[in-house]
Structure 1
């Protein structure tokens, strides 16, 4: 996963209404219920079926760090799927999405002009059509570059061109990304 993909997932996860299971045994029981068996969970996590059974029975309580990370990641990914889908649908049809980023934005210009590339902190609401494009691209497994280009196009239209009211021929370069955060 990349920076854009993780940020979209975090934005959707912020809409969760109930806390996910915290301890390893509770997380393992949740996955066993979701995947309908210990064998499927063992294959998913790369551990033995007996180890899964021992977690379910509370015989093991503290997993190795790499297993703990995989376990919590899988639980987080599967927790409240209908809430996640509803949040994505709402953003894609009515509310849109907010992007906050610190990156180098630049334009084609003469050296020394104010249009030279520089680090900017930009927070901008993107309309639902960009949220829909981002979520569709993420669902089909788009690369980080594709997600970045959709976000760059949205920022170009909404922030720099002000929805077509200025800088009609402006083409924005979106590089050296420090961080990206999405929110609803």
Structure 2
């Protein structure tokens, strides 16, 4: 996953209303319930079914670092799916999405104006239609470049063109991303 895809996933995780389980046993029990069995979880994590059972019974408590990382990512991916879906639907229909980024923005504009790109720190609220397009693109398996194009268009229209009130004919290039944080 790319920078924007990861940021969308983090924003989605931040919509949770309850904290995720902390201990390895609690995480294993949650995944066993979600996957409906220890065998499926063992296959998913690449460990034996007996090892999963030991974690479920709290006979084992400290997983190896690579197993702990896989376990944590699987729990985060499956934690409170209905809450996530409601938050995404609300962002796509009513509230929109907030983009905070530090990146290079270059411009293609009318002759006589500057089009040299420069690093800018921008925090901007984008309307629901851009959030909906972003979520649709992500669910369709869009590349990070395609997600960047959606965000660039939103920033171009809302931030740089001020919703059509200035900079007519301006086209924004969104490159050299230092970081991107999304929130909805």
Instruction: Give the TM interval when normalised to the shorter protein.
Output: over 0.9
CA shift, 1:127, in A, is: 0.4
CA deviation string 1:125-175 (max 9, x = no partner): 100000001111111211111111111111111111111111111011111
Q: Paired residue for 2:67?
A: 67
Kept in 2, the 8 Å contact 1:109–1:116? The answer is no
Kept in 1, the 8 Å contact 2:109–2:171? The answer is no
Kept in 1, the 8 Å contact 2:100–2:122? The answer is yes
- Go from structure 1 to structure 2 and tell me whether the alpha carbon gap of 1:91 and 1:179 turns closer, same or farther (over 3 Å shift): same
Kept in 1, the 8 Å contact 2:157–2:164? The answer is yes
Q: Is there any run of 5+ residues in structure 1 with no aligned partner, and where?
A: none
CA shift, 1:109, in A, is: 6.5
If the length of structure 1 is used for normalisation, what is the TM-score?
0.95
Aligned length: 183
CA deviation string 1:31-59 (max 9, x = no partner): 00000000110111111111111111111
Q: Paired residue for 2:128?
A: 128
Kept in 2, the 8 Å contact 1:152–1:172? The answer is yes
Kept in 1, the 8 Å contact 2:97–2:126? The answer is yes
CA deviation string 1:69-91 (max 9, x = no partner): 11011101111111000000000
- Aligned equivalents of 2:62, 2:141: Cα separation in 1: 33
Kept in 2, the 8 Å contact 1:156–1:171? The answer is yes
Q: Paired residue for 2:108?
A: 108
Q: Is there any run of 5+ residues in structure 2 with no aligned partner, and where?
A: none
Aligned-pair RMSD on alpha carbons?
Answer: 1.5
CA deviation string 1:67-124 (max 9, x = no partner): 10110111011111110000000000000000000000011369xx754110000111
